[in-house]
Amino acid sequence: MKSFIQYSADTHFPIQNLPYGIFKPKPDGMPRAGVAIGDFILDLSVLEDKGMLKNSSSEKNLFNRSSLNLFMSRDKNVWKEIRSRLQSLLDENNPELRDNKELRQEAFIPMSDAIMCKPVEIGDYTDFYSSREHATNVGIMFRGKENALMPNWLHLPVGYHGRSSSIVISGTDIIRPKGQMKPADAETPVFGASKLMDFELEMGFFIGKGNELGTSISVEEAEEHIFGMVIVNDWSARDIQAWEYVPLGPFLGKNFATSISPWVVTLDALEPFRCSGPKPEFEPLPYLRSKGNKAFDIKLDVFIEAHGWPEPYKVSHSNFKFLYWSMAQQLAHHTVNGCNIQTGDLLASGTISGDTKESRGSMLELTWRGAEPIKLPNGEERKFINDGDTVIMSAYCEGDGYKIGFGEVSGKILPAKQ
């Protein structure tokens, strides 16, 4: 499959991808939906207005909106119809859009001439803890090797409810949070700016169609409810978190900011990259048993960039397939008690780490709680994230001569407010 739109072989956005996002044409355009193709955004509101995106939905205005929520709430068949139609319109052999110069000028926006917006109106946010390697590393640091994993961890996808109001789009600066901390040599806590700012390398998925209160979504049908995925950086203030997390878990150490990438990649685009995940140590209870491959081979990179550096420095290389609990299992567990999931809800994986030091998904693990600082090419060291540092995360699948990418999510740490 090839498009008449020219792009490089290593683009994240070939015709095989077509992720959805919300953008505003510069300088002051109104938000609307688009798909990424090479270095361009195809304005879906223009195609919709021209009657070129007919589908089985009764809704006539899916894309001239400031969020993807209405489109996401439609049946999965509608998602497939729109994706198939877009691939047909962009195909190099289809003259319908290719040869209509006036329409092309109206419908294609260079990415450099657009401002990306948060793609979804996010109602609720759940963060899981689904990487065995990450959970083990953190458990060893805080409880010792013998008690690294809690007794429930290998039997259910552990998670907690986060704060959706502080989820921000890539490129948003992050202000260093303040809170209570208890230094190791102190008898009582102190208040101030966090000294142990960290990133968490995660992926997240958006809910398309939800379920009614009192019903559940089975592990077999879970993917019918997953619209697509984004990169997630769930920022953490480790010193605040360490003092507060007993007995109810993360609070101020996590709820100050979570960054997401702007393009939502569909499961249809990821289908060629399905693979098996880790073999479970115990057979899950029936409601968590799934058939077939539920993991995806998505490569994950983390870079740190600081003022004056010639280029970002890669500190981690991990993979989504390392997760012990799949998205289908996470969603099935989330709803097994009758919890209603709604269109636009975001469910994140938790930090994704592998079994090598280079594949650890947080500074907490990479530097082993600061005891093993990262040595940078210019001679500097990092135990955690400094003011002025920008953290950049990238995610992509590699096919035969093409990539299915997510672009990137970035955020710069600014000093705490006085």
Q: What is the span of the domain harbouring residue 79?
A: 20-117
Q: What is the pLDDT of residue 142?
A: 86
* Residue 9 within any structural domain of the chain: no
Q: What is the pLDDT of residue 59?
A: 87
Helix, strand or coil for residue 334?
A: helix
Examine the domain organization and report whether 168 and 27 are in the same domain: no
Examine the domain organization and report whether 80 and 160 are in the same domain: no
Examine the domain organization and report whether 130 and 77 are in the same domain: no
Q: What is the pLDDT of residue 308?
A: 82
* Residue 11 within any structural domain of the chain: no
Do 12 and 396 touch, CB atoms closer than 8 A? yes
* Residue 192 within any structural domain of the chain: yes
- Among candidate residues 12, 134, 225, 333, the one labeled active-site is 134
The rounded distance, in Å, linking the Cα atoms of 14 and 230 is 17
Tens digits of residue pLDDT in 290-335: 999 999 999 999 999 998 888 999 999 999 999 999 999 999 999 9
Number of domains, the chain: 2
* Residue 33 within any structural domain of the chain: yes
Examine the domain organization and report whether 351 and 210 are in the same domain: yes
Exposed e or buried b per residue across 248-263, where buried means at least 16 C-beta atoms within 10 angstroms of its C-beta: ebbebbbbbbbbbbbb
* Residue 138 within any structural domain of the chain: yes
CA neighbor of 131 nearest in space, from 224, 219, 209, 232: 232
Examine the domain organization and report whether 328 and 302 are in the same domain: yes
CA neighbor of 322 nearest in space, from 359, 288, 377: 359
Is 134 assigned a catalytic role?
yes
The rounded distance, in Å, linking the Cα atoms of 302 and 199 is 9
Exposed e or buried b per residue across 24-33, where buried means at least 16 C-beta atoms within 10 angstroms of its C-beta: bbeeeeebbb
The rounded distance, in Å, linking the Cα atoms of 2 and 93 is 9
Examine the domain organization and report whether 103 and 132 are in the same domain: no
Tens digits of residue pLDDT in 353-387: 999 999 999 999 999 999 999 998 888 999 999 99
Exposed e or buried b per residue across 163-178, where buried means at least 16 C-beta atoms within 10 angstroms of its C-beta: bbeebbbbbeebebbb
* Residue 15 within any structural domain of the chain: no
Examine the domain organization and report whether 137 and 91 are in the same domain: no
* Residue 8 within any structural domain of the chain: no
Examine the domain organization and report whether 113 and 131 are in the same domain: no
Of 117, 136, 154, which one is at a domain's C-terminal end?
A: 117
Exposed e or buried b per residue across 43-55, where buried means at least 16 C-beta atoms within 10 angstroms of its C-beta: bbbbbbeeebbeb
Examine the domain organization and report whether 295 and 193 are in the same domain: yes
Q: What is the pLDDT of residue 291?
A: 93
Of 117, 149, 177, which one is at a domain's C-terminal end?
A: 117
Of 97, 117, 137, which one is at a domain's C-terminal end?
A: 117
Please spell the DSSP secondary structure of 144-201, one letter per residue. Answer: -GGGSS-TTTTTS--EEE--GGGEEETT--EEPPEEEE--TT-SS-EEEE-S-EE-BE
The rounded distance, in Å, linking the Cα atoms of 203 and 392 is 14
CATH number for the domain including 78? Answer: 2.30.30.230
Examine the domain organization and report whether 93 and 182 are in the same domain: no
Q: What is the pLDDT of residue 358?
A: 97
Element (H, E) at 138: helix 132-143
Helix, strand or coil for residue 382?
A: strand
The residue behind tokens 């700012």 is: 197
Query: What distances in angstroms separate CA 408 from CA 86, 178, 299, 395, 396, one per listed residue?
Result: 23, 27, 12, 7, 9
CATH number for the domain including 263? Answer: 3.90.850.10
* Residue 66 within any structural domain of the chain: yes
Examine the domain organization and report whether 159 and 295 are in the same domain: yes
Q: Which segments in the chain show pLDDT lower than 50?
A: none
The rounded distance, in Å, linking the Cα atoms of 360 and 352 is 7
Examine the domain organization and report whether 84 and 171 are in the same domain: no
The rounded distance, in Å, linking the Cα atoms of 133 and 149 is 10
pTM: 0.97
